[in-house]
Amino acid sequence: MNRIPFLLAAVAVSLLLAQLPSWAQSTDSPIPAPRTTPRAMPESGVQGRARSLDEALKQPERTRQLNMSGTTITELPPTIGDLTNLRVLDLRGTGIATLPATIARCTALEEVILADNAFTSIPSVLADLPALRRVDLSGNPLQIGERDLTSLNNVRVLNLARVGLVEVPQSIGSCLDLRHLDLSGNRLTDLPTGMSNLLQLEVLNLSGNQFSACPKAISPLTNLRELDLSSNRLTTIPNEVFAIPRLQTLLARANRIRTLPDTLRSGSIQKLDLDSNDLEQLTEGIGGLESLSVLIVTNNRLTTLPASIGLCKGLTTLDAGENRIIELPVAELASIPGLRSIRIAHPLPVLLPDGTVDTKTQKKP
């Protein structure tokens, strides 16, 4: 066998590895997580912002944001209705369980944050706020009735994470303006058919539930751009999910995924995260993800990577650490022009001329 092409490919990959940043060559440093910036806490005294209701009522017509988060209160006084120009109300972690009816006078209110309180139902008065677009009810012990979600018909961002949901009411299908829906940290095993009505939905977080199969209501969501299925009980991801036409980010960490479809087709998926699953083989169909830029398959049981990965010409980041890889498609990896971050094992493997890994020098993960 003529090994010159393999040798050239191995040299190319070695040069590629040598150009990586220091974290990629380390024996104990994973790819850094993206940095997120939390929303800044409005400061007292800034024009239009207040940290207490008393402060806000000194100039009610000028108050645009009221942030009382972390302040222990038993109830919100009816005078909240005097803040007719209020746009953002943050009451997270205050301990309240109800909203006064007078809040309906806050007709400019766009965002209501009620996270980590004692609400047991969705406040019906929210239906009387014509400008309301963002609602956060996460971390409340909610009992959601079949018609309760109809009060949120105009909302675009809805956070129902960690509210104890066992099922989602069919009335979710009436929230036709939803763009971002967070249902993470509940006990869901399926989604209602009404979910398929949410054709404007762009971000759906289903992580931390009890799904053993991908809900069928997901595939009709043609405008979906980000889907998080992490920390469930999935054993595979069907083609119907990969075929969602605008899906760019698919997160499925910490499941029980053993296989993926043999044939994958997507011109939109840019990031695929399959960390901490049970994959022993990565499907050749991976080459059908034409726009793939970031592929994460760490903490699986892979022994090789498919040659078809060379068809992912837009790939910039490949993280396959914490596996059992003993063979690499070096020529195909070397042919990917923008691949600048690659991690195969700790430490990086020594490649033999035929593209296999020198098992004498590789440590077991």
pLDDT at 219: 96
* pLDDT bracket for residue 146 (50, 70, 90): confident
Instruction: State the pLDDT confidence band at 151, using cuts at 50, 70 and 90.
Output: confident
Q: How many CB atoms lie within 10 A of CB 286?
A: 20
Of the candidates 363, 303, 310, 314, the one whose C-alpha atom is nearest the C-alpha of residue 340 is: 314
Which CATH number is correct for 50-130, 2.40.30.110, 3.40.50.300, 3.80.10.10, 3.40.50.720?
A: 3.80.10.10
Buried b (16+ CB within 10 A) or exposed e, 100-132: bebbbbbebbbbbbbbbbebeebbebbbbbeeb
Q: Report the pLDDT averaged over residues 237-241.
A: 96
Question: For residue range 280-334, what is the model confidence (pLDDT) as tens digits?
Answer: 999 999 999 999 999 999 999 999 999 999 999 999 999 999 999 998 999 999 9
Q: What is the Cα–Cα distance from 188 to 197, expressed in whole angstroms? A: 19
Does a cis peptide bond (omega within 30 degrees of 0) precede residue 130? no
| Amino acid, single-letter form, for residue 8 | L
pLDDT greater than 50 at residue 19 = no
341-355 pLDDT tens trace: 999 875 556 555 555
Of residues 47 and 61, more confidence is placed in: 61
Nearest to 119 by CA among 167, 154, 175, 162: 162
Mean pLDDT, residues 147-172: 95
pLDDT greater than 70 at residue 43 = no
Bridge partners of residue 158, in order along the sequence: 135, 181
Mean pLDDT, the chain, rounded, equals 87
Looking at per-residue pLDDT, the higher value among 277 and 356 belongs to: 277
> For residue range 21-34, what is the model confidence (pLDDT) as tens digits?
433 333 333 333 33
Mean of pLDDT values over 72-80: 93
Least confident of 31-40, 169-178, 207-216: 31-40
Instruction: Give phi and psi for 88, each to the nearest 5.
Output: -130, 125
* Residues facing residue 65 across a β-bridge: 49, 88
Q: Which of 186, 185, 194, 245 is nearest to 215 (CA)?
A: 194
Q: What percent of the chain has pLDDT over 90?
A: 78
Position 276: which residue type?
A: S
Give dist(CA 354, CA 53) in Å, integer. Answer: 72
Are the beta carbons of 85 and 108 closer than 8 angstroms? yes
pLDDT band at residue 74 using 50, 70 and 90 as cut-offs: confident
Nearest to 116 by CA among 48, 179, 70: 70
- Cα–Cα–Cα angle for 247, 208, 143, rounded to 5 degrees: 105
Tell me if 100 sits within 8 A of 81, measured CB to CB.
Answer: yes
- In the chain, what are the domain boundaries? 50-130
Q: What is the pLDDT of residue 243?
A: 95
pLDDT bucket at 40, cuts 50 / 70 / 90? very low
pLDDT at 9: 43
Q: Residue 46 has what pLDDT? A: 52
Asked if residues 254 and 273 have their Cβ atoms less than 8 Å apart, the reply is: no
* pLDDT of 244: 97
The pLDDT value recorded for residue 255 is: 98
Q: How far apart are CA 185 and CA 139, in angstroms?
A: 9
pLDDT of res. 42: 42
What pLDDT is stored for residue 250 in this prediction? 98
179-196 residue pLDDT tens? 999 999 999 999 999 999
Q: Are 300 and 324 in contact (CB under 8 A)?
A: no
Asked if 345 and 324 count as a contact pair (C-beta separation under 8 A), the reply is no
